[in-house]
Structure 1
Amino acid sequence: MNFTLRPSEIYYCQNTIKNVFDGIGPIGQTLNDIVDGHLSVNDLTPIRVCWKNNRWFALDNRRLWIFKHLERMGKIDEIDVKEISEIPPEKFTTKNDGNSIFVRGDPYNQYDDY
C-alpha cells in the first residue's frame, strides 16, 4: 500500500548508514542537489516502511536521512512511502529506537566511508 508520511513520523531501522549511494555519490551531495533544484524529491524512489513497535520504521535509511534534513529545512512536508510487511531482522539494528542514525564517513565526501 502506498501513502504519505512526514519524515519526522518515520524512524530509522538501522544504527548506521554508508555516506554514499552506490554508483551515485555522497548522500550529502544528493541533499544539496535537491535543495539547489538540480534534483527533485520525486527523483528518489519512495522509501519502504513497516509498522513495528507502534512506529513506522524505514528500510531505506539513507533516503530517510535526506528526507528528514529536507523537512527540517522546510523544503518538504510529506513524502511518498510504500508499506512492507516486515524488515529483515539483520537490517533492524537500531540501538536507540530509531531516533537517530550514525553516518559512516562524511556525508559530503564519498571517500571517507569505512
Structure 2
Amino acid sequence: MPQIQLAPSDIYYSQSSISHCFTCNGTEHAGKTLVETVNDILLGLCRITDIPKISVVRKGDVWVTADNRRLWVFRALESLGQCDRVPVKITRYMCRKKNVIKKEVKIRGDPGKVLYELKKSLHREMEDVFLALASIYLGSN
C-alpha cells in the first residue's frame, strides 16, 4: 500500500457522527475518550506515532478516511499547532457503511475536557493564589 503525508484538515470524514471514545482494539488509546488521547499526546504520555496510521481513499478530488476517530484526534492536534501532516496509507476500498463525505463530524457522547481549557482554568486559579500571597507579603511589610 502506498503511503503519503497529508494535513489532517485535508482529509474528509466518512461518517456524519463518531463515538466519543475508542473501542478496545489493542492499541495504547483503546477505551480512552478522543480528548483523553489528545491530552495524553499534549502531556507527552504517548506520541502521535503511537496512534495507528489512517487509511484514505480518493473520492473525486478529496481524500476520505474510514478512520474517523483517529482523524478527529489528528485534526484537534493540528488546530493546537502540534501536527501539520500525518502519514496515511492509500487504499482502494472503504466499508460501504461509511459512504458520507463530510468536512466536519458530530461527536456522540461526552468527549471530555480539552487540556487547554484546563490550563486556562489552572492559570486563573494560580493568579488568584499569587495575588493572595502578594497581599499577605505586602501586608506584613
TM (norm. structure 2) is 0.71
Q: Which residue of structure 2 aligns with residue 81 of structure 1?
A: 88
1:60-86 CA distance string (max 9 Å, x none): 000000000111110011101001102
Separation in structure 2 between the aligned mates of residue 72 and residue 56 of structure 1, nearest angstrom: 19
For 1:65, the equivalent position in structure 2 comes to: 72
Runs of 4+ in structure 1 displaced over 2 angstroms? none
For structure 1, the residue ranges without an aligned partner over 5 or more in a row are 110-114
Q: Distance in 2 between matches of 1:88 and 1:80?
A: 21
The whole-number CA distance in structure 1 between the counterparts of 2:93 and 2:66 is 9
**1:91 and 2:60 equivalent?**
no
Instruction: State the alpha-carbon separation in 1 of the partners of residues 112 and 34 from structure 2.
Output: 7
Q: Which amino acid aligns with 1:105?
A: G
**Alpha-carbon separation, structure 2, partners of 1:108 and 1:26:** 7
How much does 1:54 deviate? 1.0
Aligned-residue CA RMSD (Å): 1.3
**Higher normalized helix content (fraction of residues):** 2
- Which entry has the higher C-alpha Rg, 1 or 2? 2
More relative contact order in 1 or in 2 (CA 8 Å, sep 6+)? 1
Q: Structure 1 residue 53 and structure 2 residue 65: aligned? A: no
Q: Which residues of 2 match residues 25-36 of structure 1 at below 5 A?
A: 25-36=32-43
Q: Report how many aligned residue pairs link the two structures.
A: 106
Q: Which one has a larger percent strand, Structure 1 or Structure 2? A: 1
Say which SS state the counterpart of residue 90 (structure 1) adopts.
coil
Q: Which residue of 2 aligns with 1:3?
A: 4
Q: Structure 1 length normalisation: TM-score?
A: 0.88
Which residue of structure 2 lines up, in the alignment, with residue 104 of structure 1? 108
